[in-house]
């Protein structure tokens, strides 16, 4: 988990290519997936899209389906990778209020043959991650990469 304060999201995004360059320079492969546009694509392609426009409250009943779609997108990207690859996820902040990042990561991590790198805008304290500094957090056994390591 590459965690950082959400206030520097644009700075991290602008410099993320440096992580890719370092990864490739270390002889590893690189696959990147931006999750930010995923919800828009998913909802626009949903068979009940027009009904959801008229009754947006019904969307809450479908969000677990979106979590599955997000995990499936990560797994599809991971299928293009080998054990020597890093699969990097960006756009995690776009999941806030729509999906559980912890469930998405837990559903997909085992299918990543190499390393999974999650660019995580939020907070890390005593082994627990909080997306966008939300009160809710989850314990995830990952190597935290603190902000001072990359900025």
β-strand pairing of 85-90 with 128-131: unpaired
Q: What is the pLDDT of residues 42-73, one digit of tens each?
A: 988 988 888 888 887 878 888 889 999 999 99
Chain segment 99-109, per-residue pLDDT in tens: 888 889 999 99
What would the mean pLDDT of 104-117 be, rounded to a whole number? 94
Give me the domain span that covers residue 12: 2-149
What is the tally of structural domains in the chain? 1
Query: To the nearest 10°, the Cα dihedral for 33, 144, 68, 59?
Result: -100
């Amino acid at each position: 988990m590459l965690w950082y304060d959400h206030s520097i999201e644009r700075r991290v995004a602008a410099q993320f290519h440096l992580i890719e360059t370092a990864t490739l320079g270390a002889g590893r492969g690189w696959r990147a997936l931006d999750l930010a546009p995923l919800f828009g694509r998913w909802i626009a392609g949903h068979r009940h899209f027009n009904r959801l426009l008229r009754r947006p409250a019904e969307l809450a009943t479908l969000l677990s389906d979106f979590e599955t779609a997000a995990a499936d997108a990560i797994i599809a990207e991971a299928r293009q990778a080998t054990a020597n690859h890093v699969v990097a996820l960006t756009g995690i902040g776009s999941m806030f209020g729509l999906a559980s990042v912890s469930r998405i990561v837990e559903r997909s991590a085992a299918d990543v043959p190499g390393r999974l790198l999650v660019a995580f805008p939020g907070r890390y304290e005593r082994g627990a991650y909080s997306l966008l500094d939300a009160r809710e957090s989850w314990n995830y056994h990952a190597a935290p990469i603190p902000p001072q390591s990359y900025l």
